[in-house]
């Protein structure tokens, strides 16, 4: 018989991606992955999926890349139905970490063995939460925790157009079980493109300890608004967040990061061969993440003060009378980063018997703020 041409004899490889969320990152990921793969966007938040579906209508989503190229694509569906997880080969979560558990729980009954679940970013203890929500099924799945989002991005028109402002050169990720890293790496690098280069981190615990939000956000908020520094009255202008870090705030951040390093040291002593190298100090995290961008990287405070990406960013504030401002002490820097970051660090410290006086002080204050 006549041999079929290669295009017909090659097997087709169907591959379905679910992207969870409806914010900046989720819409960008959906548009990017839908260029090449069948892609379904899932949002379990209120009526976000219906609103997005209505906003897009029959049109394509328009994504402007940081290379200047404009690409157009359309997800196969935008839904709030978790049963679509049954068809998924990869599930990418680009939602705030406090919502991860809700998605894991909703998808658990439907997921097929071997599904890759990638969290961008994973935040602290993401692998433990995944195992808890999936129970016995977790051992048949692949969990991939990313340290951060691959891109800085924003909507230009909600539900219809977005722009990637910048793409990270490289991004750390850890896989549970570690033996599945080559498989997970191939899938995610293929979906993301050339950049960011996905770099292997030895384990998800290192990614958890590396979580900068768990220390920077609550630490800087405490440094400016704790009773020692603020009298409770409205302020004339919104204080700078990163550029406004002074000696006192830096001392708080140093206390927090040193306590995480004490946890890392104790665990590496207790478990021979455990590699937590990526659970680094905050200063080292800045050197890794923003090398060459800061005009002075000699100290943690200088890294924060001179990082051009932070220029003009202020503390989250609410309007008060007479054009003044009050801090928003229920902003995600506390409501998200304390329960899904700082509390994880504190829990490890308690288990290991590591004293954490700075963490205790910031945690007690933050709990009062968020209720």
pTM, two decimal places:
0.90
Q: What pLDDT band is residue 260 in, cutting at 50, 70 and 90?
A: very high
Q: How confident is the model at residue 75 (pLDDT cuts 50, 70, 90)?
A: very high
Instruction: Decide if pLDDT at 360 tops 80.
Output: yes
CA distance 249 to 253: 6
Q: Return the number of other C-beta atoms located less than 10 Å from residue 239's C-beta.
A: 17
pLDDT for residue 1: 57
Structure tokens at 330: 């229920």
Paired residues of 327 in beta bridges: 317
Residue 7 has pLDDT above 60, yes or no: no
| 217 noted as active-site residue | yes
Catalytic residue among 100, 217, 283, 315: 217
The confidence score (pLDDT) of residue 219 equals: 98
Cβ contacts of 191 within 8 Å, gap of 6 or more? 17, 32, 33, 36, 37, 90, 92
Output the CA torsion 330→336→341→342 (10° steps): 10
The answer to whether 152 and 28 have CB atoms below 8 angstroms apart is: no
Measure the N-to-C terminal CA separation of the chain; round to a whole number of Å: 75
Please compute the mean of the pLDDT values over residues 31-48 and round it to a whole number: 96
DSSP state of 367: H
- Report residue 237 as tokens: 């202008």
- pLDDT tens, position by position, 274-326: 999 999 999 999 998 888 889 999 999 999 999 988 999 999 999 999 999 99
**pLDDT tens-digit series, residues 84-101:** 999 999 999 999 999 999
pLDDT at 152: 86
Residue 165 has a pLDDT of 87
Average pLDDT over residues 254-259: 98
Q: Which pLDDT belongs to residue 6?
A: 56
């Amino acid at each position: 018989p006549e041999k079929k041409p290669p295009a017909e004899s090659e097997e087709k490889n169907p591959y379905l991606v679910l992207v969870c969320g409806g914010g900046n990152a989720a819409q960008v990921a959906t548009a990017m992955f839908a260029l090449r793969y069948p892609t379904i966007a899932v949002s379990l938040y209120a009526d976000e999926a219906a609103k997005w579906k209505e906003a897009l209508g029959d049109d394509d989503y328009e994504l402007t890349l940081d290379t200047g190229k404009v690409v157009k694509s359309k997800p196969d569906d935008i839904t709030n139905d978790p049963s679509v997880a049954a068809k998924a080969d990869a599930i990418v979560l680009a939602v705030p970490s406090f919502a991860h558990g809700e998605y894991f729980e909703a998808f658990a009954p439907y997921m097929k063995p071997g599904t890759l679940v990638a969290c961008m970013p994973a935040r602290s203890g993401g692998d433990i939460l995944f195992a808890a929500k999936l129970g016995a099924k977790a051992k048949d799945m692949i969990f991939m925790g990313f340290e951060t989002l691959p891109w800085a991005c924003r909507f230009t028109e909600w539900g219809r157009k977005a722009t990637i402002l910048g793409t990270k050169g490289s991004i750390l990720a850890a896989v549970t079980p570690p033996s599945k890293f080559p498989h997970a790496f191939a899938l995610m690098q293929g979906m993301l493109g050339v950049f960011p280069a996905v770099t292997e981190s030895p384990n998800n615990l290192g990614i958890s300890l590396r979580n900068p939000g768990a220390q920077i956000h609550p630490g800087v908020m405490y440094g400016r608004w704790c009773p020692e520094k603020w009298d409770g009255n409205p302020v004339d202008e919104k204080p700078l967040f990163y550029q406004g870090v002074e000696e006192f705030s830096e001392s708080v951040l140093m206390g927090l990061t040193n306590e995480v390093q004490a946890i890392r040291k104790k665990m590496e002593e207790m478990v021979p061969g455990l590699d937590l190298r990526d659970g680094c100090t905050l200063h080292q995290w800045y050197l890794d993440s923003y090398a060459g961008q800061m005009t002075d990287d000699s100290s943690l405070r200088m890294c924060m003060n001179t990082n051009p990406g932070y220029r003009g960013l202020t503390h989250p504030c609410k309007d008060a009378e007479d054009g003044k401002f009050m801090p928003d002490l229920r902003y995600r820097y506390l409501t998200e980063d304390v329960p899904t970051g700082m509390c994880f660090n504190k829990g490890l410290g308690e288990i290991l018997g590591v004293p954490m006086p700075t963490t205790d002080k910031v945690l007690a204050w933050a709990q009062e703020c968020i209720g």
